[in-house]
Structure 1
Amino acid sequence: MEKSANQLLDKLLANQYEAYLVGGCVRDRLMHKPVQDFDIATNALPEQVMELFSHTIPTGLKHGTVTVMLEGVAFEVTTFRKESAYEEHRRPQQVEFVSDLQEDLQRRDFTMNAMAIDLKGTVIDPFDGQIDIAQKLVRCVGNPNERFEEDALRLLRCIRFAVNYGFRIEQATWEALLQHAHLLKFVAMERVRVELEKMLAGDNPYQALELLLDSQLLKYVKLELQFPFIKWKTADLPVYLRKLSQLDNPLLRWALLFYSMQTTSDKASRALKKLTFSSKQLKVIIPILNLEIWLHEQIDHALQAKRTPDKNDHVALSSSRVSVDRPDLIWKQAAIQFGKDTLLDWLSIKQIEFSELASNTSLDLKQSVFIVFLRSGNEWISEMPVETLSELDLIGSDLLTHFDMPAGPWVSEFLQRLLLDAAFGNARNQKNHLLKRAEIYRKELNKHE
């Protein structure tokens, strides 16, 4: 990709135009990080760029941007420009093409992004971006109040760059961010989501949560997010969230965050939908929250069944009775109801939570059962002969034929019970054995008719 970018620069230079690599690719190269995209700035007008290259896309001619396709790679080539007043704190009302590179660089957001490199490798850095990178500092170009007033998305970008690069936010930039936090209401929720996803997917998700709380930015998004995090202070962050980065799947980080809020899955779903998370993403996050609630209910039910009054006439339960509650059956039933993947995801986030418990911490009965899940959950899943109805060696028509009965709710009920029996090891997953088991259910049904 870099070779193609240099070829593009070379062709512009050969035709008497100025051309430079600019923005994020310069920043990442100087920080010795992988470069994802190469953006190019030139004094050539969009029409001149399109004349030079055979395969171009008029991406944003109004703003001076042409996409050049070179060897199957897309490069954005933008004419040097300066910008007028911004509309609704997001986009310039109009742009003016200019011939000076520095005029183009001074419109950018942060000093680390306001650098250019020419074909010879010379860095053009009029705003000391290299110094700020060396000092691990996020600093606005020029007046930070003006930068945030121009484009409110920069409020989130500022925090994202700080946490993803492990930088500090320069004091004047931070003060301006706080002063202009209310402007975030002008940013589309989709853009908010993209920035938040990048923060939580990075190496320092806990720092992202701290800065979001310190800045209170999320109070000002376009659509109100009604979940506890909005009202938290940094001191309210559970200690185990410091280990968010141990979860490789970013969606599990979101699941653990919502889990830490102890909010309902409905409220979590509404908040995520406001943030424009996809249905596919919700199908990972929400079942984990529902599983947590379901497990609490099942354990409560199991413990309730084992309660006996002690001599002081209050409810007691010996630890030996916890073992006979068969947590393996609760776990296997959960695997059938929620799916193996959801259980494995739950184990991952629960491991993070319980890793913060001191070795001498006294566990209550429910926590003790959760510890058993953590220790044996993977093994129990692996030993299940079946997990879904499609894996049963029997289908509804087999029951109808065997019993010569009309279809009805009983078919679905029998299938579910047979699935549990096969999963629990109470019956072999073979049609003849399953039908014999179903005969027991039929006798029970007859007694109640």
Structure 2
Amino acid sequence: MGNNHEHTVAWRHAHPDMAKRSGEVIRTLLRHGHEAYWVGGCVRDEYMGRPVHDMDIATSARPEITAALFPKVIPTGMQHGTVTVMHEGEAFEVTTYRTETGYDDHRRPSEVTFVTDIEEDLQRRDFTMNAMARGLDGAWVDPYGGRRDIEARRIRCVGDPRLRFQEDGLRMVRCIRFASVLGFAIAPGTWRAIKSEQKTLRWIAMERIRIEMDKVMAGPHPRRGLALFVRSGLYDHMKVPFPYTGHEEAWMRAIDHVDSLRLDVRWALLLLGCGLASAAADPLLRAWTFSNKDREAICAILRFQEFWLRLKDEGRSQDRLAWIRLVLDFGGGVAASWLTMQHALTAAGAEETADTAKLDDWLQQMVVYSLKELNVTGNELLSALEKRGGPWLGELLNQLLMQVAAGIVPNDKSALIDEARRVVIHEEG
């Protein structure tokens, strides 16, 4: 299989430096008598015109030989044939051609055998579009029709799909993720295999599933991905499933109307669509291995929604001071996220429950959102008032914060001290 040393394929969707340096890694392997190709996602994404982020390489060279050819190598997974070559500041995974057997845990192979044929290596991969290689000269190795399936906008397993999913249950989730993110159909045989092997998902750690689900939720068609999870039966076999029925109420429709960068809002909508309040959502997100930061961001939106509904029930939804107090309690960022969610619900055809334009104006008019933005400190107040500290000081600072946020008192140190004196004199009098 030809790998011309002199000519390099043009990469239009990868960073030029990354393409150049990965080509130099391949050229080094070729110069020492080994085969080497770009493989997997970078080949697929380049063919599809999508941004290329990682450029992985497969080679006939054994891992110890690859490691000896480059000055800086990280032994990422020598037993599985993988080393990470550091070349001019870029990291490239270089893996020896291999076959895999004995997936006892439906996730990782118990035995890896190094081989010398690129087509044997491609045979172990999950989907045809990921089982393609490209040489330095641009030559294609595509024994399973990956390009043909991409043109047909189809996800299809390499070989027997049931066997592929028995080997690694996470591949079923990846299949749905690709179908959702790319807008592709799932080949009938591959879909039937998912439904047949759905119980295999019980072996897969929630963290691995959550990472794939995050990609679904960050994609252009999250609702389609969620629907595929339900229709395939995979939802029923996750270790910690969502109580999701697949009904297309406004909460679910709204997910597609939220910018893909706002994953916290998309997840909040999904949880609300599942009928979950913050108290029930918090342990679920923990079990799904969300980071503390992400979990807290999502639950804060749910709690804000609960407090907003309480204001609404009390007939205070048009009360500017009540809104400002709510914003100060939760923070301007959480309030903005909640408003983003409300805009998405309106775009999805939900009945408006809030005058979001007015609430947004009130939010923008606030000049402070937290105590650290006040132009006076607790110590400065103690000194000016000649008083000792105590719980009263925190109450006073929060009262000043509310007045500044509402535009009643300017955020000026002397004005704040004067107002503090007035409040203390009034309370002591």
TM norm structure 2 = 0.89
Contact 2:252–2:270 (CA under 8 A) maintained in structure 1 = no
The Cα offsets for residues 228-283 of structure 1, whole Å up to 9 and x where unpaired, read as: 32xx0355674633624545322221122223333111221211111211112123
- In the other structure, the counterpart of 2:145 is 128
In 2, Cα distance between equivalents of 1:337 and 1:121: 59
Contact 1:83–1:94 (CA under 8 A) maintained in structure 2 = yes
- In the other structure, the counterpart of 1:346 is 338
Query: Higher RCO, 1 or 2 (CA under 8 Å, sep at least 6)?
Result: 2
In 1, Cα distance between equivalents of 2:344 and 2:134: 44
Q: Tell me the secondary structure at the aligned position of residue 76 of structure 2.
A: strand
1:119 aligned residue (131, 136, 139): 136
Per-residue deviation, 1:326: 4.8
- Greater mean deviation of Cα atoms: 130-139 or 254-263: 254-263
In 1, Cα distance between equivalents of 2:117 and 2:138: 19
Q: Tell me the secondary structure at the aligned position of residue 137 of structure 2.
A: coil
1:144-223 superposed matches below 5 A: 144-222=161-239
Residues 144 and 443 of structure 1, relative CA distance in 2, 3 Å threshold: same
Are residues 1:328 and 2:320 paired?
Answer: yes
1:240-389 superposed matches below 5 A: 240-241=253-254, 243-302=256-315, 326-357=318-349, 367=353, 370-371=354-355, 374-389=356-371
In 2, Cα distance between equivalents of 1:398 and 1:85: 70
Letter aligned with residue 360 of structure 2: N
Residues 20 and 334 of structure 1, relative CA distance in 2, 3 Å threshold: same
Runs of 4+ in 1 over 6 A off after TM superposition: none
In 2, Cα distance between equivalents of 1:33 and 1:399: 58
Residues 234 and 295 of structure 1, relative CA distance in 2, 3 Å threshold: closer
Per-residue deviation, 1:405: 4.6
In 2, Cα distance between equivalents of 1:429 and 1:8: 59
- In the other structure, the counterpart of 1:50 is 67
Are residues 1:104 and 2:121 paired?
Answer: yes
Letter aligned with residue 347 of structure 2: S
Letter aligned with residue 8 of structure 1: V
Letter aligned with residue 39 of structure 1: D
Letter aligned with residue 357 of structure 1: G
Q: Tell me the secondary structure at the aligned position of residue 99 of structure 1.
A: coil
Contact 1:206–1:241 (CA under 8 A) maintained in structure 2 = no
The Cα offsets for residues 263-304 of structure 1, whole Å up to 9 and x where unpaired, read as: 11122121111121111212321211111111111232245x
Residues 138 and 59 of structure 1, relative CA distance in 2, 3 Å threshold: same
- Greater mean deviation of Cα atoms: 56-65 or 400-409: 400-409
- In the other structure, the counterpart of 1:11 is 28
2:399 aligned residue (417, 420, 424): 417
1:56-71 superposed matches below 5 A: 56-71=73-88
Letter aligned with residue 180 of structure 1: E
In 2, Cα distance between equivalents of 1:235 and 1:242: 11
Q: Tell me the secondary structure at the aligned position of residue 269 of structure 1.
A: helix
The Cα offsets for residues 77-117 of structure 1, whole Å up to 9 and x where unpaired, read as: 11111111112101111111112221111111011111111
Query: How many pairs are equivalent?
Result: 412
Per-residue deviation, 1:150: 0.2
Are residues 1:391 and 2:383 paired?
Answer: no
Residues 45 and 405 of structure 1, relative CA distance in 2, 3 Å threshold: closer
TM norm structure 1 = 0.85
In 1, Cα distance between equivalents of 2:379 and 2:150: 69
Residues 438 and 402 of structure 1, relative CA distance in 2, 3 Å threshold: same
Per-residue deviation, 1:407: 3.2
- Greater mean deviation of Cα atoms: 24-33 or 415-424: 415-424
In 1, Cα distance between equivalents of 2:100 and 2:408: 73
Structure 1 segments unaligned to the other structure (5+ residues): 304-324
- Greater mean deviation of Cα atoms: 424-433 or 72-81: 424-433
- In the other structure, the counterpart of 1:307 is none
- In the other structure, the counterpart of 1:428 is 410
Residues 334 and 112 of structure 1, relative CA distance in 2, 3 Å threshold: same
- In the other structure, the counterpart of 1:309 is none
Q: CA RMSD in A?
A: 2.3
In 1, Cα distance between equivalents of 2:193 and 2:208: 21
Contact 1:203–1:245 (CA under 8 A) maintained in structure 2 = no
Letter aligned with residue 266 of structure 2: R
Q: Tell me the secondary structure at the aligned position of residue 38 of structure 2.
A: strand
- In the other structure, the counterpart of 1:228 is 243
In 2, Cα distance between equivalents of 1:296 and 1:333: 14
Contact 2:226–2:246 (CA under 8 A) maintained in structure 1 = no
The Cα offsets for residues 22-44 of structure 1, whole Å up to 9 and x where unpaired, read as: 11111112112121111111211
